Structure 1
Amino acid sequence: MSDANLYSETFKVTETDAADTKYDRVLRLTLLNDSGDTEMKLDVNSELLQCNIGERVQVLLSSTLSLDGSKDDGKGWRDVGRGEPSVADDYDYVCHGKVYRFDEGKGDKLYVKINAKDFVP
């Protein structure tokens, strides 16, 4: 993994909920890692990615899609990796966005809110 890859984990889908969202074509996945210490809620475009309870998904948080870890140099997310190999080539579904808030939860919980756009490589 390059230094650009900040977090990588395999999760099991424990819950899916389309009714909880106010947008069409959005599915909210509740994911739990194997050790049970990390839960993630992830909204995905249900037309681009369909997941069922019990399925496993690999999640990677990275600061760039460039294989060498270099910054995207002002390219828009739609331009990164077009015509050249990128991290996106290894995944069926990719979100691109920014962390906009950290919230402390009860105990040792931390909530990270990310505003993301999705695309399929």
Structure 2
Amino acid sequence: MSSDAQLYEETFTITSLATQPYDRVSRLIGTSTDATTSLTLDVNSELYPCQPNENVTLLLAQTLNLDGTIEDVQKKGWRPSGKNDSQTLADLWDYVCYGKVYRHEDKSDGGNIKVYISFGGLLCCLDGPYKKLSPLRIDNLYLLLKK
């Protein structure tokens, strides 16, 4: 897959898990293995149950195509139609969402930024170094998780 299509990849250790106030939704709070980035992520806990102290690998990508070509999601939708047998990046991961980056917060010191993403109401916040998170200055992306 083209490295340009992969915007951010990191392994996080889940430090805590909040299940309130919604049924079937857990809020994962974690820290990257290098301790430079923090993650807050809502997931469907029925589809992807997690526990504190587990490691999850997160990938944010512009496309699910293994060759890195970017499809027009607005025209055909992001879910495979089932009519072709080609493998996608989604087949290699356990949990996949499509969402919109809706806000960036740059701190005045230029060190860390916060990126906010919505996956149909399931929210994500990444707080980390500008150098790592600056590729996320795009409109739409895919989130992929695996343990």
Q: Where on the TM-score scale, by shorter chain, does this alignment land: which range?
A: 0.7 to 0.9
Tell me how far apart the structure 2 counterparts of residues 41 and 88 of structure 1 sit (CA, whole Å). 22
Per the alignment, residue 19 of structure 2 pairs with: 18
Per the alignment, residue 103 of structure 1 pairs with: 105
- The equivalences for 1:1-121 within 5 A come to 1-2=1-2, 3-19=4-20, 22-73=21-72, 74-79=75-80, 83-105=85-107, 108-117=111-120
Query: AA paired with 1:101?
Result: R
Q: Is the 8 A contact 1:66 1:80 kept in 2?
A: no
Higher mean C-alpha displacement, 108-117 vs 54-63: 108-117
> Closer, same or farther in 2 for the Cα pair 1:27/1:105, shift >3 Å?
farther
Number of residue pairs the alignment of both structures matches = 117
Q: Is the 8 A contact 1:65 1:88 kept in 2?
A: yes
Give the TM-score of the pair, scaled to structure 2.
0.71
Q: Is the 8 A contact 1:72 1:80 kept in 2?
A: no
Give the TM-score of the pair, scaled to structure 1.
0.85
Greater fraction of residues in helix: 2
Identify unmatched segments of 5+ residues in structure 2: 123-143
Q: Is the 8 A contact 1:11 1:59 kept in 2?
A: yes
Query: AA paired with 2:48?
Result: L
Q: Which gives a bigger RCO, structure 1 or 2 (Cα 8 Å, sep 6+)?
A: 2
What displacement does 1:103 show? 1.6
Q: Considering only aligned residues, what root-mean-square deviation do their CA atoms show, in Å?
A: 2.3
> Closer, same or farther in 2 for the Cα pair 1:29/1:105, shift >3 Å?
farther
Query: AA paired with 1:114?
Result: I
Runs ≥4 residues deviating over 4 A: none
Tell me how far apart the structure 2 counterparts of residues 35 and 49 of structure 1 sit (CA, whole Å). 24
